[in-house]
Structure 1
Amino acid sequence: MSRATPFKMRFVHLDLKGAPPKVSYLSEVFPLFHTLGANGLLIEYEDMFPYEGRLMLLRAKHAYSPSEVAEILRLAKLNELEVVPLVQTFGHMEVYYLGEGETSKQWLQQEQNSLAKLCLSHMQAVASHVLAQHPGTTPLVWDDMLRDIPQEQLKASGVPQLVEPVLWDYGADLDVHSKIFLMGKYQECGFQRLWAASAFKGATGASQALPPIEHHVRNHEQWLQVAVSGPVDALQGIILTGWQRYDHFSVLCELLPVGIPSLAACLQSLVHGGFAEDVKLRVEHFLGVSSLEIMDTVSEGAGSFPGSDIHALVTQVSLHLRSSVDTLLERNRYVTGWFSPYHRRRKLIHPVMIQHIQPEALSLLSRWSNLVQQLEAALQLAFYPDTIEEWLEENVLPSMQQLQGLLQDLGEAAAPLPLPPPPSSCWDTGQNP
């Protein structure tokens, strides 16, 4: 039997800097989040926030309107999901190049200054400003920049009295002992409350299209071990991150609807203390799927959860589109033997060979064109046009262009050569016979 969870708060992270869902889709998934065991949302608005005044230039083309943000908050409250906004004041914007600016370099030349001190001074300034403006707010910070700072320096900075660190680790082989040791260090520095952060998608590859569910379930099982083995009641809750881009300049990784089965398995693992067989059956029931095989890259087949059609179609594309086109181009003996790149560049082919290649290529193009049309229609219900354009261009267009290029070359190679002009005669020259 499964046991009770040590995590009182379970926040689902919505990363809106890529593929932000329409509010209509969020209205469908928030009830599911609640049913699965979530009781909070960490919303990373990014450029989807309706900034005004001087900050209006930060808005994305399809940014939420003020009324849509209000609706998101209403829907969250309706589904008993506490909302915490995530604003990256440090994050991927500054921290990779900490100390590289000219002003920072000059500051660091002073003997008593260091990168750690620079980092802590920034955290202290931002947290103090937030608390001065909003006294009832508790700032949370990702902990990776704090881990290696000496204990005494952390304690003396005043930061432990201002913020609560979020210990994040998305690995399936998370080191439980090291996390427990780190929790003890933070407590000795003066941090009163700690948080954990896991991942249900967006952590296994910048261009990952399908989440490896087993990896993410194991990540959560490791965090459960940390929670039950570490200091009692030290962890206030856990944030299940679902990154949509690794940073602002990277491609999209797993779309939210595609990550729902992984999220369901992870949340239910947290609620019931592990992913036992009875928990697996509950997840299958909530998703409306006949079988959830976490050992596979993804479980194929239909479900009844919001976005299940997107999940099924993306799975088909991701697992089979490129491989089916590659098989035709690289393993079909008629293509490799009689219509190789050499032949295609010169538009040379034996007429008989056209009948061995063209029907299969046309059939493949028709099948994938129909499926992609279905996918595009499904995506339009959940996402904005720029998201659909980007995902299709990255994941569909390359293989479709290869297929269309093959058929175009076949057509040009099959076209009859123009007849040479008739030989000139004396009648044409105007000379006497």
Structure 2
Amino acid sequence: MFPYEGKLQVLRSPNAYSPSEIREIMNLARVLHLEVIPLVQTIGHMEFVLKHKMFSHLREMKEFPNSLIPCKKESVDLVKSMIDQIMAVHKDLKWLHVGSDEVYHLGESEESKKLLAQTQNTADSLFLSHVKAVANYIVTSYPNVKPIIWDDMLRNISEEKLKESMLSQFVELMIWEYNANFKVDGMMLQIQKYQRSGFSHMWFASAFKGATGAAQSLTPISYHLANHLQWLKVAEALSRDSIQLHGIALTGWQRYDHFSVLCELLPVGLPSLAVCLQTLKNGVFSEKEEDFVKKCLGFKTLRVNFIR
């Protein structure tokens, strides 16, 4: 949906926003006291780029257009060009989300295999090196902007390796978990590992729709309510630790990847969003919060199973 230009124009959807429309969105956000944080994919979820013939040689696996070869200079140059065009339209940003989640087939291209065979690098090293190069470019070229990345590719990387990479000096982590009843203790252990690795600024990421099935039609409100109640427990536990929590991103999935069918659409998910926001605001969802949501939405009933 971004109006890429020049060599990148092939990435633009036929119904992409125009630069003036993006500026209007940014202005409206300021009027409403909202802050826009763009997200641009930079290594995984690159189907919208790598499906095109002119960029297909940058696929980590020839048959699948989802992951970028991280060790090619051309890959980094491509990502830099995408970032520059996005930054040119989005002024006065504080953060830029550079994705970096679900990087499948990492290390499986001929270029990556050759590099791994010649050095002591691992697939994790390839990932860390690429993300660090992208983040370094952002903080160098745009000193007032802080990169954010999803955390899932770091979960199985050792604490020592994360420290050694010094990635924490360049990025902030957005830790995602969309399951209704994830283990709070397990999440705390993961957060503490990141903290010991140098990450002191973090975000959480929940979901208010879309995360329960690739072809979901209706949003199960109770499921997403439970997810947010678990995140509130994590946030409460964090208050005793020296971690700066910037906030929580209530993700609303449209589809699981570029080639998937649509999940439930935004209008269907709005009641769930309202319930989740009230839960985060008040720390609980009871009959009082339900009545408020119904009044705001003009509903007579709201199908929510209360979770005590």
* Class of the TM-score when normalised by the shorter of the 2 chains: 0.7 to 0.9
Whether 2:108 is the aligned partner of 1:155: answer no
Q: Which runs of 4+ in 1 moved over 3 A?
A: none
Name the counterpart of 1:285. 295
Distance 1:91 1:282, change over 3 A: farther
Deviations along 1:304-354, whole A, 9 cap, x unmatched? xxxxxxxxxxxxxxxxxxxxxxxxxxxxxxxxxxxxxxxxxxxxxxxxxxx
- 1:5-44 aligned at under 5 Å gives the runs none
Deviations along 1:181-239, whole A, 9 cap, x unmatched? 11111111111201100000110000001111000010000000000013255322100
- 1:109-258 aligned at under 5 Å gives the runs 109-230=117-238, 231=241, 233-258=243-268
Greater relative contact order, per chain length (Cα 8 Å cut-off, separation 6+): 1
CA distance in 1, matches of 2:140, 2:244: 26
Secondary structure of 1:294's counterpart equals: coil
CA distance in 2, matches of 1:162, 1:82: 21
CA distance in 1, matches of 2:285, 2:118: 53
Distance 1:234 1:176, change over 3 A: farther
Name the counterpart of 2:272. 262
Q: Does the aligned pair in 1 maintain the 2:254–2:263 contact within 8 Å?
A: yes
Q: Decide which of 81, 96, 100 is 2:34's aligned counterpart.
A: 81
Offset at residue 90 of structure 1 (A): 2.1
Offset at residue 115 of structure 1 (A): 1.0
Secondary structure of 1:145's counterpart equals: helix
Name the counterpart of 2:70. none
Q: Decide which of 22, 47, 53 is 2:6's aligned counterpart.
A: 53
CA distance in 2, matches of 1:146, 1:283: 37
RMSD: 1.3
Q: Give 2:2's aligned amino acid.
A: F
Q: TM-score, normalised by structure 1?
A: 0.56
Name the counterpart of 2:24. 71
Offset at residue 91 of structure 1 (A): 2.9
Taking only the aligned residue pairs, the percentage that are identical comes to 54
CA distance in 2, matches of 1:233, 1:106: 40
- 1:368-407 aligned at under 5 Å gives the runs none
Secondary structure of 2:118's counterpart equals: coil
Secondary structure of 1:184's counterpart equals: helix
CA distance in 2, matches of 1:204, 1:91: 21
Q: Does the aligned pair in 1 maintain the 2:214–2:255 contact within 8 Å?
A: yes
Secondary structure of 2:191's counterpart equals: helix
Offset at residue 111 of structure 1 (A): 4.9
CA distance in 1, matches of 2:32, 2:253: 22
CA distance in 2, matches of 1:127, 1:293: 43
Distance 1:104 1:182, change over 3 A: same
Secondary structure of 2:168's counterpart equals: helix
Q: Does the aligned pair in 1 maintain the 2:163–2:197 contact within 8 Å?
A: yes
Q: Give 1:245's aligned amino acid.
A: R
Offset at residue 274 of structure 1 (A): 1.6
CA distance in 2, matches of 1:277, 1:295: 11
CA distance in 1, matches of 2:237, 2:179: 18
Structure showing greater Rg: 1
CA distance in 1, matches of 2:3, 2:127: 29
Q: Does the aligned pair in 1 maintain the 2:202–2:243 contact within 8 Å?
A: no
Offset at residue 133 of structure 1 (A): 1.3
Unaligned runs of 5+ in 1: 1-47, 297-433
CA distance in 2, matches of 1:232, 1:186: 12
CA distance in 1, matches of 2:113, 2:215: 35
Secondary structure of 2:154's counterpart equals: coil
Q: Does the aligned pair in 1 maintain the 2:26–2:36 contact within 8 Å?
A: yes
Secondary structure of 1:238's counterpart equals: strand
Q: TM-score, normalised by structure 2?
A: 0.78
Offset at residue 174 of structure 1 (A): 1.1
Offset at residue 92 of structure 1 (A): 2.3
Secondary structure of 2:175's counterpart equals: strand
Unaligned runs of 5+ in 2: 47-66, 68-102
Whether 2:283 is the aligned partner of 1:273: answer yes
Q: Give 1:234's aligned amino acid.
A: Q
Name the counterpart of 1:328. none
Q: Give 2:33's aligned amino acid.
A: E
Deviations along 1:260-312, whole A, 9 cap, x unmatched? 1011100111011121221111111111111211249xxxxxxxxxxxxxxxx
